[in-house]
Structure 1
């Protein structure tokens, strides 16, 4: 069942722009500088978390100036909904990372259930260290684990329903050039 496009367009028309395209791009550049300084000599395997991490990874990877192996994984709790459910693996990593450092690139650290499960998966599968990079870290006290923090964060965000730069509203607006909050959410 496809979404009502008039509603989808209305959501964008009424949305609050939290970060402009230029602000997001500057944050990505800063994340890249930090990662370059810390991981360049560690030969990491980099995993993009699909679909949300796609745009952040696509913007970040060309700014990383060291050799790396790239793959993807796809785990979700949302399935085009606005609230999360049980973790569902659509595609597990296909590159070996036994005794390797791993960098996971994702769009957002919200409650962190998905990211925590991915970190646990990588650790149990033999990664020597797991690093995480997220474009957005949502500020609230509902994290899956109190100690769960991303190693590299582009921007903090208030506790609202957001979309853009890979994050979606009911499957739409991942392509929005900026970070937007749904009016009233």
Structure 2
């Protein structure tokens, strides 16, 4: 594969998790989140763009369990279409005041965690009393930023290029209803 053709990537990829499996894992996560946030209304921050499909599904599952959320979003990226990260660029900061609030970040994946670490630190600087992370997927490796881990995890994916269900293949395929990994 020499281009960024999504069809070619899919032909050269392995299905890691299908839609049904992901939906079951999201429902499981929602139960834990509902229990942990009982009696409060957390600020639910979707991390754009990758977190959108997962965050929407998770929010609905949390709602089914009777927990209300205050919605907002943020867009911060280190990738900007590339496959490796650079300096953090803020495209949109949440408008909801975070001072004294419990915050739940919803994102598609924890890879090494540099972006999520910076976002979590920013939320704390804004006065959040607690910041937790819900991630659909975490990569199986030992290269995470020290002290960063997701509090709620759907699935563990291999340490390969993964895409689908919010994760992109060169800005394509975020809306695929499954997670794929390119073959080694």
TM-score grouping bracket, smaller chain normalisation: over 0.9
What SS does structure 2 have at the residue aligned with 1:118?
A: helix
TM-score by length of 1: 0.93
Aligned CA RMSD, in angstroms, stands at 1.4
Residue in 2 aligned with 1:13?
A: 11
Q: Are 2:131 and 1:130 equivalent residues in the alignment?
A: yes
What SS does structure 2 have at the residue aligned with 1:175?
A: coil
Residue in 2 aligned with 1:62?
A: 60
What is the CA–CA distance in structure 1 between the aligned matches of 2:6 and 2:41, rounded to whole Å?
42
Residue in 2 aligned with 1:95?
A: 96
Residue in 2 aligned with 1:161?
A: 161
Unaligned runs of 5+ in 1: none
Unaligned runs of 5+ in 2: none
- How far apart are residue 45 of structure 1 and its match? 0.5
- How far apart are residue 69 of structure 1 and its match? 0.6
What SS does structure 1 have at the residue aligned with 2:5?
A: helix
Residue in 1 aligned with 2:40?
A: 42
What is the CA–CA distance in structure 2 between the aligned matches of 1:155 and 1:7, rounded to whole Å?
26
What is the CA–CA distance in structure 1 between the aligned matches of 2:126 and 2:172, rounded to whole Å?
33
Task: Describe the superposition over 1:103-125 as per-residue Cα deviations: whole angstroms up to 9, x where unpaired.
Answer: 00000000000000000000011
What SS does structure 2 have at the residue aligned with 1:11?
A: helix
What is the CA–CA distance in structure 2 between the aligned matches of 1:110 and 1:167, rounded to whole Å?
11
Detail structure 1 runs of 4+ shifted over 4 Å in the superposition: none
TM-score by length of 2: 0.94
What is the CA–CA distance in structure 1 between the aligned matches of 2:108 and 2:167, rounded to whole Å?
7
What SS does structure 2 have at the residue aligned with 1:34?
A: helix
Residue-pair matches, total: 180
Indicate conservation of the 8 Å contact 2:113/2:145, yes or no: yes
- How far apart are residue 183 of structure 1 and its match? 2.5
Residue in 1 aligned with 2:172?
A: 172
Task: Describe the superposition over 1:4-40 as per-residue Cα deviations: whole angstroms up to 9, x where unpaired.
Answer: 9872210012210011111111110101111011113
